[in-house]
Amino acid sequence: MKKGLKVFGVMALLVVVAGSWWNYQYPSGSWRYKITVEVETPEGIKTGSAIREVIYQSTPHILPEAHRSRVQVKGEAVVIELGEGKYLFALMDTNGPYRIVSELFPYNWETQRDYIAYYKSLTGEKKTLDQKLYPTFVTFKDINDQMSVTPVDRHDLSQAFGTGVKLKNITVEMTDEPVTWQIDELLPWLQSLKSNLDGSYVTTGSSLANTLHVGYFKRGQ
């Protein structure tokens, strides 16, 4: 009995040591940011925002061409209500949600631990998003019909929303507030969607509904 407990204790210690070594060699961490979109309208400024989380995980560098980290983003698209049942969506493009922070707040790091510590220390820092990092914008002719998704030209919002409506700016602020999950309330059909908006699993580019999938609207929930 005592021998068995001793063996168990040694094994438990080895697991703890191995875990500590792994965490030291391959550190991980996360940071959050609030992205806010401002739109000028005849009725005044309309805004929408979302809080997202970047999760960074170091990984073993086994092959020369292999990435040394894995990055995930949790969060949702920004929704701006423009009145009369019209909404503008600033989507989560493929790499955009991660690049936003790394390009707005560049850092010449030496170790991955330094990299993680730097971005975790930026809470409260705020910058205006460069236009080259602007997301894709869309709207829905019928908010209850995903097939009615329509592209929106960020240079000419008036074409989709009427005279006097134009994009003012987009800001990004590092924060420790919780990730927001509000888009399901507006688009309840997202909850059951596991594919492209048109229901297909193969992207042919035949339509915007075929090109966009649920990941453009929310990830990691």
- pLDDT (tens digit per residue) in 12-46: 444 444 444 444 566 889 999 999 999 999 999 99
Q: What is the pLDDT of residue 170?
A: 98
User: How would residue 221 be classed by pLDDT, with cut points 50, 70 and 90?
Assistant: confident
Q: What is the pLDDT of residue 26?
A: 65
Main-chain phi, psi angles of 125, to 5 degrees: -70, 140
User: How would residue 68 be classed by pLDDT, with cut points 50, 70 and 90?
Assistant: low
Q: For tokens 């309330």, what's the residue?
A: 185
**Is 173 in contact with 126 (CB distance < 8 Å)?**
yes
Q: What is the mean pLDDT of residues 174-192?
A: 96
153 versus 67: which is more confidently predicted?
153
Predicted confidence (pLDDT) per residue in 108-147, tens digit: 877 889 999 999 999 999 999 999 999 999 999 999 999 9
Q: From CA 169, how far away is CA 37, in angstroms rounded?
A: 6
Q: From CA 89, how far away is CA 78, in angstroms rounded?
A: 6
Q: How far is CA 14 from the centre of its chain?
A: 37
Per-residue pLDDT at 86 exceeds 80: yes
Q: What is the pLDDT of residue 13?
A: 42
Q: What is the pLDDT of residue 79?
A: 98
Per-residue pLDDT at 211 exceeds 50: yes
Q: From CA 173, how far away is CA 107, in angstroms rounded?
A: 17
* Burial classification of residue 196, based on how many CB atoms lie within 10 Å of its CB (0-12 exposed, 13-18 middle, 19 or more buried): buried
Q: What is the pLDDT of residue 62?
A: 59
**What's the whole-number average pLDDT of the chain?**
87
Of 8-12, 85-89, 182-186, 187-191, minimum mean pLDDT range: 8-12
Q: How far is CA 24 from the centre of its chain?
A: 27
% of residues, the chain, pLDDT over 70: 83
β pairing state of 86-90 and 166-175: unpaired
Q: For tokens 């908006």, what's the residue?
A: 197
Q: What is the mean pLDDT of residues 187-196?
A: 92
